[in-house]
Amino acid sequence: MAEGLREAVPENAVHLCIDMQRMFVEETAWRLDWAERVMPQIVRLCERRPERTAFTRFIPAARPGEGRGAWRRYWTRWASMTLERIDPGLVDLALPLQRFVPPGRLIDKHVYSPWVGSDLDAVLSRSGVDTLIVTGGETDVCVLATVLAAVDLGYRVVIAQDAVCSSADGPHDDLLRLYHDRFSQQIETATVDEILDGWR
């Protein structure tokens, strides 16, 4: 599926790693079986430029029924994953990634998109960043929300196709095809090897 990079990745690109947290990697109701498979690839990207890496963390509601609108129903459904019910340490990054913060940055969010309720776009814009390398999970939920908003904001988006994961194989494959086929002017899909070769 990889189309490869259209051009080199600029030196000031940012690696945006989405929600690779203990609660998605360890034994919880939200465990992503693929997370262990993609973790070594994510680590390789972090090792290349840890100071140019940002990690998002999805922060659950404090208790069931919190949230605005449909989120209230969501947190009633997932009461077992609210902060009052889980070990709070499960919100932390997965253990292999914790060593990268600092210099990497944490961005906490309460919805799927890291662009809502944060200064992420302002910080990146002030730094002249126009290219994002995206890894993490899930391909068809939080990665999707991150990528589509990044496109709307004008970023060049490079999805590391062997460093994103989902709990559902079909939607994962469908989304990679969608990114490749329908958004090819703004989104590139490439392997971690190709990204590392192009990010000098």
- What CATH number does the domain containing 150 carry? 3.40.50.850
Bridging pattern class, strands 156-165 and 105-109: unpaired
Has residue 74 been placed in a domain?
no
Phi, psi dihedral angles at 111 (to 5 degrees): -130, 180
* Cβ proximity of 157 and 151 under 8 Å: yes
Distance (Å, rounded) from C-alpha 85 to C-alpha 75? 12
Distance (Å, rounded) from C-alpha 168 to C-alpha 152? 26
- Looking at the whole model, is its pTM more than 0.85? yes
Q: What is the chain's mean pLDDT, rounded? A: 94
Residue 1 has pLDDT above 70, yes or no: no
The predicted model gives 5-29 an average pLDDT of 96
Has residue 69 been placed in a domain?
no
Q: What is the pLDDT of residue 200?
A: 82
Instruction: Establish how many alpha carbons lie within 13 A of residue 99's alpha carbon, considering only the half-sphere containing its beta carbon.
Output: 8
Has residue 116 been placed in a domain?
yes
Has residue 38 been placed in a domain?
yes
Q: State the residue range of the domain holding 98.
A: 14-60+90-198
* Cβ proximity of 64 and 79 under 8 Å: yes
Distance (Å, rounded) from C-alpha 122 to C-alpha 100? 22
**Alpha helices for 26-165 (secondary structure H):** 35-48, 70-77, 120-126, 142-152
> Which two structure tokens, joined as six digits, stand for 36?
């262990």
Distance (Å, rounded) from C-alpha 18 to C-alpha 177? 19
Has residue 75 been placed in a domain?
no
Share of the chain above pLDDT 70, in %: 98
Has residue 81 been placed in a domain?
no
The predicted model gives 16-44 an average pLDDT of 96
Phi, psi dihedral angles at 47 (to 5 degrees): -65, -35
Has residue 125 been placed in a domain?
yes
Total domains in the fold of the chain: 1
Residue 2 has pLDDT above 70, yes or no: no
The DSSP annotation for 74-90 comes to: HHHHTGGGSTTTS-GGG
DSSP class of residue 137 equals: E
Residue 138 has pLDDT above 60, yes or no: yes
Note if the bond before 138 is cis, omega within 30 degrees: yes
- 148-164 b/e with 16+ CB inside 10 Å = b? bbbbeeebbbbbbbbbb
The predicted model gives 188-196 an average pLDDT of 96
The predicted model gives 65-79 an average pLDDT of 95
Q: What is the pLDDT of residue 126?
A: 94
Has residue 121 been placed in a domain?
yes
The predicted model gives 38-56 an average pLDDT of 97
